[in-house]
Chain A
Amino acid sequence: MIATPLLPPRVVVYEGAGATPLPSGDRAGIFASLLDRGYAVTRAGTGAADQLAGGAMIVIGCFPEGPPAVADASGQCEVAVRDVTGLSVGETIAVVEEARGTRRMNRPPDAAAAANGPVANTVDTWKPWFPVIDTARCTNCMQCLSFCLFDVYGVAGDQTLRVENPSNCKVNCPACSRVCPEVAIMFPKYHAGPIDGGPVADADVHREKMKVDISALLGGDIYAKLRERSADAKSRFSKERSADQALAERRRCLTKLADAAQIPREVLDALPSPEEIQRRVEAAAARAAAAKEAASGGSA
C-alpha cells in the first residue's frame, strides 16, 4: 500500500572507459541532489553492487564521442543514456528528470515542493515512518499487533510478527513501541533512543516492563478508555449540538492518553467511531491469539 509501488529509476554515474570524469567539484553535488530527489545512484566501478534488478536505469556521463547506444540484453531494464558534458549540477539534474519522463516515484516533501512543471505531477511524498522489528529481541508476544488499530502488523507464515503494511502507520506516532515489553520496536526516524534503534540499556527494559500495560497506567483498558472518552464526547455533542465544542472536549479528554503514549493529536482526532475501534480491536486480538496458538502448536 505504498503510494508508489513502482521501482524508481536508478541513476548510474559512469566515469569509466570512453568517458571523461565529472568535474570533481560537481560530483558530490550531483550525487546529493539526485539522492535528495529520491533517486538511487550507482557510481560505477569496483565497490558497487553486483548487478541491477530490472526497472529503469538512467546512465549519465561525459562522453566525448556522444552517448553510446546501450541495450539491456535481458530485456528487464529500460536504459537511457545521457551526455552531461559541460552541464552544471542543476542542468544535470534537469537532464535526469527529463529522462525519467512520467515514471512515478516517491520523493522527500521538500524536494517535491520545489518541483514544478510536469515533474510535480509525477511524485508522491509519503514519509517512510513505520515500525521496524528487532528480531533479536522480539518474543512474538503480539501485544503490538493487538494494540495497533491500523493493520500495520501481521503474522508471517512461520507465525512470527511481521510489519505487513508500513504505509498504514501514522506518521510520527511511536505509540506501539511503548507497549513492547522487550523494547523490540524501533522507529528509525524517531529522534531519540532506544526507539530510534539505539542501544537498549537494562534501564530501558525495566522502564518498558513497568508500563507494558498502558491500560494500567491510564486506569483501565486503553481502548475502553478511548471508547469511554469518545462516548462522552458524542453525548455532549448530542446535547450541545456543537461540533467544535465536542471536538475540543475530545481533545481535552485525550490529553493524558496522548502524553502517556506519545500519540500525535491528529492520530487521536482521526480515530474511528467507538464501534469501529471495538471491531478492529477484536479482529487484531483474534489474529494475535491465532498466531500465538499456531506457534505453540507448532512447537509442541
Chain B
Amino acid sequence: MSESNTPNTTPTAVAADAVRILYCRCAYAQVVPPAVKDAVLAGLADAGRGFEMVPDLCEMAARRDPHLAELARGTGPLRIAACWPRAVQGLFVLADAPLPQQGVEILNMRTDTAETVLAGMLAAPEGSAS
C-alpha cells in the first residue's frame, strides 16, 4: 500500500526477494482436515504480513482464473499451503499457468500438521539474514 490513506489498486507490490504466500481453503470438499486449515489460516492471519487466500484452487483452475497466472509468473519465491504437490502443480498446468521449476514450495495440509505447515510457510527465505 502507499503511505497515504488512499489504497491504490496495486496494493501488494513486494520486494523481489520477498516470499509470496498463498493459502488454499479447499472450500468445496472435506478432504483437508478443518482443524488444520483453520489453524494454518489463523497462524497466517496473526503473522502480521500480507498473503493471498483463495477459496479453492480446483475451482479457480477450472475457470482458468488469470490470478493463477499472476501467481505463477510473479517475482520472488512462492509458498503454497494446499494439498498434494503433484495435484497443485497439475492444477496450475490446467489453468495454463505452470509453476516455475524453482522457487515454489508446496505444503500439504492433507497430511501435515498445522504446526509443520505454518513453520514452512513462515520460515525465513533461504539466504536471508533473519
Interface residues of chain A, those whose CB is within 8 Å of chain B, are 2, 4-5, 7, 10, 12, 14, 16-19, 24, 27-28, 31-32, 34-54, 57, 59, 61, 63, 65, 68-74, 77, 79, 81, 106, 108, 111, 126-130, 132-135, 163, 166-167, 186, 188-191, 193, 196-199
Nearest Cβ in chain A — how far from B42, in angstroms?
Answer: 4
Residues B12-58 near A (CB distance < 8 A): 12-15, 18-21, 25-29, 31, 38, 41-42, 45-46, 49-58
Check B104 for interface membership: any CB of A closer than 8 A.
no
Please state if A28 and B19 are interface contacts (CB–CB under 8 Å). Answer: no
Q: Give A49 to B56 CA distance when docked, in angstroms.
A: 17
Chain B residues near A32 (CB-CB < 8 A)? 25, 38, 41
With beta carbons under 8 angstroms apart, the residue of B4, B42, B52 that contacts A49 is B52
Nearest A residue (CB) for B58: A128
Number of A-B contacts (CB under 8 A): 229
Chain B residues near A27 (CB-CB < 8 A)? 45-46
Chain A residues near B9 (CB-CB < 8 A)? 52, 57, 70-74, 77, 79
Q: Give A19 to B74 CA distance when docked, in angstroms.
A: 27
Q: Give A282 to B77 CA distance when docked, in angstroms.
A: 46
Interface residues of chain B, those whose CB is within 8 Å of chain A, are 1-15, 18-21, 25-29, 31, 38, 41-42, 45-46, 49-63, 65-67, 69-71, 74-75, 83-91, 93-94, 110
Greatest chain A CB density within 10 A among B55, B75, B93, B94 is at B55
Nearest B residue (CB) for A63: B5
Nearest Cβ in chain B — how far from A96, in angstroms?
Answer: 13
Please state if A40 and B28 are interface contacts (CB–CB under 8 Å). Answer: no
Q: Give A70 to B10 CA distance when docked, in angstroms.
A: 11
Nearest B residue (CB) for A187: B87
Please state if B3 and A53 are interface contacts (CB–CB under 8 Å). Answer: no
Please state if A44 and B55 are interface contacts (CB–CB under 8 Å). Answer: no
Q: Give A48 to B18 CA distance when docked, in angstroms.
A: 9
Please state if A45 and B53 are interface contacts (CB–CB under 8 Å). Answer: no
Please state if B53 and A49 are interface contacts (CB–CB under 8 Å). Answer: no
